[in-house]
């Protein structure tokens, strides 16, 4: 057993619906502009542009229930509801059919985005890391396992804020299917078991503020339901949530004790 200069971070994990086991997270990949209407609302032409990929750090994962702190450094935090694919095996240069065989489950995720920082980065041709990869920027529901890499081809995807519907579409509206997204990714990276892939958001993205309550889901999957809180008051009894201490984030969290969503499905 090698010695470390300081104790390593505990593994990042996500709860699995109906199981005591956890899903160990390797990487988080994300797809931009994978719904035509969202691409248009962001000023792009979905008919001509190939998939746009970016990533989040694995420890950006947080349970999609309970409380999520409003991040520092932004005055324009946006929500993006997404289908998340969980891989149970990896590979490279995969066909869409081969890629689907690597899928072990699906979840509902929210790609929280510092939109003002993203806009500034786009204007200057800079990376999106600070806009997309901050702490707690990837709230996710428990993963629903599937058999034999089943392809989730259709189903209502929706998100509401304080009871107002903001986003609503069908995952059949994705420009690139799950298999196509994974095949594209496998030509850029070697995919591995534990990878999570956020597959893009439909139109209707919009701003959030402390005190907002988000609820969202996809047919057949566990929902998300969480409160945006000021970072100084987030967590139990006014305690600041610390993603490095095995608290409500996915870092070192006990999957059997992820807070339950209050959304009935």
How do residues 54-77 score in pLDDT, each as one tens digit? 999 999 999 999 999 999 999 999
Which pTM does this prediction carry? 0.88
Tell me how far apart the alpha carbons of residues 254 and 162 are, in angstroms, rounded to a whole number. Answer: 29
Q: What pLDDT digit, counting tens, does each position of 11-36 carry?
A: 999 999 999 999 999 999 999 889 87
- Gap between the Cα atoms of 204 and 206, Å rounded: 6
The CATH number assigned to the domain with range 13-257 reads: 3.90.850.10
pLDDT at 161: 98
- What is the chain's Cα-based Rg? 17
**218 DSSP assignment:** E
pLDDT digits (tens, 9 = 90+) for 126-181: 999 999 999 999 999 999 999 755 678 899 999 999 999 999 999 999 999 999 99
CA separation (Å) from 174 to 17, 93, 101, 226, 229? Answer: 25, 22, 20, 25, 31
CA distance linking residue 167 with residue 80, whole number of Å: 8
207-to-75, 116, 124, 226 alpha-carbon distances in Å: 9, 10, 22, 15
Element (H, E) at 145: strand 144-145
d(CA 136, CA 55): 14
């Amino acid at each position: 057993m090698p010695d470390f200069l300081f104790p390593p971070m505990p593994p990042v994990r996500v709860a699995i619906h109906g199981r005591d086991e956890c899903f160990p997270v390797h990487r988080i990949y994300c797809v931009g502009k994978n719904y035509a209407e969202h691409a248009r609302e962001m000023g792009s032409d979905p008919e001509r542009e190939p998939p746009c990929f970016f990533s989040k750090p694995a420890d950006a994962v947080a349970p999609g229930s309970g409380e999520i702190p409003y991040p520092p450094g932004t005055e324009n935090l946006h929500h993006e509801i997404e289908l998340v694919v969980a891989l149970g095996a990896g590979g490279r240069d995969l066909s869409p059919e081969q890629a689907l065989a690597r899928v072990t489950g699906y979840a509902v995720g929210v790609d929280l985005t510092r939109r003002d920082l993203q806009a500034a980065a786009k204007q200057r041709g800079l990376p999106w890391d600070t806009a997309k990869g901050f702490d707690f920027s990837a709230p996710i529901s428990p993963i629903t396992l599937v058999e034999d890499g089943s392809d989730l081809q259709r189903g209502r995807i929706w998100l509401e804020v304080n009871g107002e519907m903001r986003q609503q579409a069908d995952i059949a509206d994705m420009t690139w299917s799950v298999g196509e997204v994974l095949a594209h990714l496998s030509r850029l990276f070697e995919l591995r078991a534990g990878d999570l892939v956020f597959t893009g958001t439909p139109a209707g993205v919009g701003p959030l503020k402390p005190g907002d309550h988000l609820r969202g889901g996809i047919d057949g999957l566990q929902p998300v339901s969480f409160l945006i809180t000021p970072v100084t008051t987030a967590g139990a009894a006014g305690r600041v949530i610390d993603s490095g201490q095995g608290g409500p984030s996915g870092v070192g969290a006990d999957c059997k004790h992820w807070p339950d969503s209050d959304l009935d499905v």
